[in-house]
Structure 1
Amino acid sequence: MRVVPNSLHDEVAASLREEIFAGTMAPGSFLDEAALCERLAISRTPLREALKVLTAEGLLRHEPRRGCFVAEVTDRDLDEIFPVIALLEGRCAWEAARNASDADIAALEALHDKLAKHARAKRINDYYATNFIIHEAIITLADNRWLASVIGDLRKILKLARLQQLNAPGRLAQSLSEHLAVFAALKARDSDGAEAAMRTHLHRQREALRAVALQQKSRLAS
């Protein structure tokens, strides 16, 4: 992969970020700078600037004299982040219900139809991708740049773990039901209802991740 030297460290950061989100770089794995420079056909300077960006975002952790490692999201991280993002995205849903036009609601309805099809077919990756677009659409409709900025930072961290929650038994159907409740409130222009439904959706994501972690521990112990 050859990176074009246009805002080079930003492009390198974007490339590595996608690899982290895709799981190509597993949580806890070491980033070999020499190997990365060779693979990306770049020098150490833009790579190190890119690593600083990803470290600031919380996607990497830097250890003195050892280098950079892909961040691992802990239970404590999730327990601390989910209540915050539930409040923030809940507020986005509240504002979106006030701002959404008929055309916006029609676009959201089409996205939810697509979400339902992915859920019925149990296409988890496609479901998650559409789910992400829906959340982004609601954040955009809120039209609050401060909310969008803070949520964007937190979502980068949660993206390292969120896909796992859809593997919890019954979670796919439950998630769809939650999304439809948010959409119903948005369509009714019910700001308080949309906020409450979004908060419930985010809190249940945390519960599902906890269930998946317990299942994994149980399998390892058996």
Structure 2
Amino acid sequence: MQPHSLCIAIADKLRERILTHQMPPGSYVNDGALALEFGISRTPVREAMKLLCHEGLLTAQVRRGMTVTQLTAAQVTEAQQLCTLLEQHLVTLARSAPGACQELTHAMHAMAQAKLRLASGSSKAHPPYAAPAQSVA
């Protein structure tokens, strides 16, 4: 596996553990232990941890390494409010333009496939250019 794709694969595994609370909020993330577990050097583990830090899933602690990010009550409330707003907008969109949802699904599928090709190191990482989506407004 190429170094970049190894880093992405490790980040994906750690992200899944964080999102499923196998690594609970506030827990210390030991790069050495993870490197041993995955049978690799610390470098790709550290790179993966940096990615997750940029995503906000890990928090760098001065002279203490990284921990799984703990959300405050205000952040949880804000996220719930944003989800509610998005759900309401999507319901309105689905009712007004049913074809738009299918178009969006196809576009998201194409992006996911491109991401997989990129992570696997395929030279065909970018899908062919498609016609721009129709405006639903």
For this structure pair, what is the TM-score category when the shorter chain's length is used for normalisation?
Answer: 0.5 to 0.7
Q: 1:95, 1:142 within 8 Å by CA — same for their partners in 2? A: no
Say yes or no: does 1:100 pair with 2:61.
no
Q: Distance in 1 between the 2:94 and 2:65 partners?
A: 42
Unaligned runs of 5+ in 2: 109-137
Q: Distance in 2 between the 1:86 and 1:141 partners?
A: 21
How many residues are matched? 105
Q: 1:95, 1:141 within 8 Å by CA — same for their partners in 2? A: no
Instruction: Look up the SS of the partner of 1:91 in the other structure.
Output: helix
Coordinate RMSD, CA, aligned: 2.5
Question: What does residue 12 of structure 1 align with?
Answer: 10
Which residue among 88, 104, 116 is the counterpart of 1:143? 104
Task: Provide, for residues 32-71 of structure 1, a one-character-per-residue CA deviation record: whole Å limited to 9, x for no partner.
Answer: 1111111112222211111111112221111121111011
Say yes or no: does 1:32 pair with 2:18.
no
Deviates more, 1:78-87 or 1:65-74: 78-87
How far is 1:93 from its partner? 2.1
Q: Distance in 1 between the 2:76 and 2:27 partners?
A: 20
Which residue among 61, 80, 83 is the counterpart of 2:81? 83
Which residue among 67, 70, 74 is the counterpart of 2:65? 67
Q: Percent identity?
A: 36
Q: State TM-score, norm by structure 1.
A: 0.42
Q: Distance in 2 between the 1:67 and 1:142 partners?
A: 43
Instruction: Look up the SS of the partner of 2:28 in the other structure.
Output: coil
Instruction: Look up the SS of the partner of 2:13 in the other structure.
Output: helix
Q: Distance in 2 between the 1:32 and 1:12 partners?
A: 13
How far is 1:142 from its partner? 7.6
Instruction: Look up the SS of the partner of 2:49 in the other structure.
Output: helix
Would you identify which runs of 4 or more consecutive aligned residues in structure 1 move more than 4 Å? none
Q: 1:29, 1:70 within 8 Å by CA — same for their partners in 2? A: yes
